Each structure stands twice: as C-alpha cells, then as structure tokens.
Structure 1
Amino acid sequence: MTAPVINGWFTVDGGTAHLLGTRCADCRTVYFPPRTGFCRNPYCDGEDLAETRLPRRGTVWSYTNSCYPPPAPFVTADPYVPVTLAAVELAGTGIVVLGQVKDLTVDDLRVGMELELTTGPLADGPLVWMWGAPGATGATGATAERQNGESS
C-alpha cells in the first residue's frame, strides 16, 4: 500500500481508515490534527494530550468542487479531472475535517448527509483520507468492518 501523504494524521489498520487526533486528559477536548504540548482550551491547564482515533462518520457541513487545477507545485491528473471536496463534522466531536470526496459529485451531496472515512490516492500517488458514502468505501472503509461483524 502507498504511504500516507501526512504521517501521523491518519492510519489504515486492517483495511479500515482512521483519522488520528489528540484528547486532553483533563478537559477531554479533542483536536485534529494531533497536537503536542499543552491543551489549547483557554479554560484548561492540561498538558497530557493522548492520541485518539476519531469517529469515522460525520455529517456534511459544506461542500464544493474544484473545476480548475490548482497552481504549481501541486500535481494534478493530465487531463485535469474536477475534484469534489467536503467539510465533514465528525460525530460527537464538533470537529470539521476537509477532504476529497470519493465517487460522489456535488450533485450527490447535501448538507447534513452522512459520509464515512475512506482513503484514496492523490494524482501523484500519495495516499490521503477521503469521504465516501457509508458502506460504499470498500476495503478501506466500513464494508470490511461489517464483514468482520464490527461497527464503527
């Protein structure tokens, strides 16, 4: 499998993708991307931030598409294929995470609909997290979990 584009922000274990964050042991505030040092909550003096796996599902907060290629140094497919992006609020955390959307277009998306974490390659090959329809994420998503009798 291709190496993740950002080490330490997500992992793929047993074919299932997980975003990695940190949780303050004192106030329970959750952060993404993972943090080190001290809790950023202004009402907390905590310094014990433990790595935690974040929920794999969330609801669409906002979405758009990119109909034009980004400028260099970004690598795009040739010819350029528009990319769909969604900001997804992770269940129970209040955290919104932006990512590409896999196998869905802006016509398929609605604010408030549920999406599930999966992975896919960027145009130049590195593996990134992506959002997909629940149960349609294949080997790096919920389908593998359901086959093993687990739930997210």
Structure 2
Amino acid sequence: MTTTTRVPALGAEGWFTTDTDAPALLGLRCSACGTYVFPKADHGCPNPACDSTDFDEVELSRGGTIWSYTDARYQPPAPYVVPTDEHEPFCIAAVSLAAEGLVVMGQLVPGVTVDDLRVGQPVELVVDVLFTDEGDDGPTEHLIWKWRPVDEGEVA
C-alpha cells in the first residue's frame, strides 16, 4: 500500500499548519509593541515607532473578510505547477484579518468564481492540495492555504 506524503508547497514552509481540521497561518507578534507580521521575517519590527527584534510565533485568525479579489486567467510562470492537464483559472483574494490588522493574499477554493464574491464577504482558511507529484516513494501532495467563502458568523 502506497502512502501519500503531505508537505507545504515550496516556499511556504513554516507559513501555515497543515492540520486540515483547524489550519492556521503562522505569523509573528512583536513582543514590544504587538505588531503582527506575515509572512514571518528575520528583520526587526515593521512598526516604524518600534526598534524591537523580539517576536513570538503566533497562529493568526482563521477567518477574515475579503478586502479585494480578482481571477487569474493566465497560467503563472515557473515554478508554478499546473495541477491538471491544462491551466484552469482560479480566484485570488486579499483577506483582511481584523484582529491582527493584516491583509493576506491567497487563492480561493476551486469552484469559486468572481461572480460568487463581494468585498466584505467572510471567508475562512482551509488547507488544500496545490498539486500532486508522483515519486518513487509514492505520491506527494503539495499543500497551500486557501480561502473558502462562508456565511456570516460561520468562521471558527
């Protein structure tokens, strides 16, 4: 029996948990002023009024509201991997995480079109397969976070 390996997509390692039941983006919170950072960075606090370099790793909010959105009808250049035989357009949203004061970009789950979206619409974080490759040791699913539209008050 072949086992499927699940790993974060290249370049997104350490940016999110891969727990499909309760996924979370992983950011930093400045210990001095409370400013949040995503993605995690090795430099000092981005708050110009703070010169701290001391951060705590934190799980960010699992839900937010759509700040802006668009669709990607073009096939992104390498290193993007087309998950099917032919590129299928997908939606991208900038999502406002109100508690942290951050806006985080991400794809929306498959099947969502721009006609389904509106600014201010609530969404929740999910982990989804970006693409799968077949190796000698079996398939590897490369995971990424995505946003899924939800009803008002449904975000955990």
TM range (shorter): 0.7 to 0.9
Asked whether 1:29 is paired with 2:35, we answer yes
Q: Could you list the runs of 5+ residues in structure 1 that have no partner in the other structure?
A: 136-141, 143-150
Q: Could you tell me which amino acid in structure 2 is paired with residue 132 of structure 1?
A: R
Return structure 1 stretches of 4+ with deviation > 4 angstroms. none
Distance 1:117 1:101 in 2: 9
Task: Map residues 83-94 of structure 1 onto 2, 5 A cutoff.
Answer: 83-94=90-101
Percent identity between matched residues is: 45
Task: Flag structure 2 segments of 5+ consecutive residues without an equivalent.
Answer: 133-140
Q: 1:113 aligns with which of 110, 121, 124?
A: 121
Q: 1:40 is matched with which residue?
A: 46
* Structure with bigger RCO (C-alpha 8 Å, 6+ apart): 2
Change (3 A) 1:73 1:13: closer
When the two chains are superposed, the root-mean-square deviation of aligned CA atoms in Å is: 1.9
How far did residue 69 of structure 1 move?
Answer: 1.2
Higher strand share: 2
Where 1:107 maps in the other structure, the secondary structure is helix
- When normalised by structure 2's length, the TM-score is 0.80
For residues 48 and 70 of structure 2, what CA distance do their matches in structure 1 show?
33
Aligned partner (choices 119, 126, 131) of residue 123 of structure 1: 131
Report the alpha carbon displacement of residue 34 of structure 1 after superposing the two structures with TM: 1.3
| Deviation at residue 119 of structure 1 after TM alignment | 1.2
Q: 1:134 to 1:12 in 2, by over 3 A?
A: farther
Correspondence list, 1:63-142, <5 A? 63-76=69-82, 77-102=84-109, 103-124=111-132, 125-134=141-150
User: What is the identity, as a one-letter code, of the residue corresponding to 2:56?
Assistant: A
Q: What is the Cα deviation at residue 14 of structure 1? A: 6.6
Q: How many residues align?
A: 138
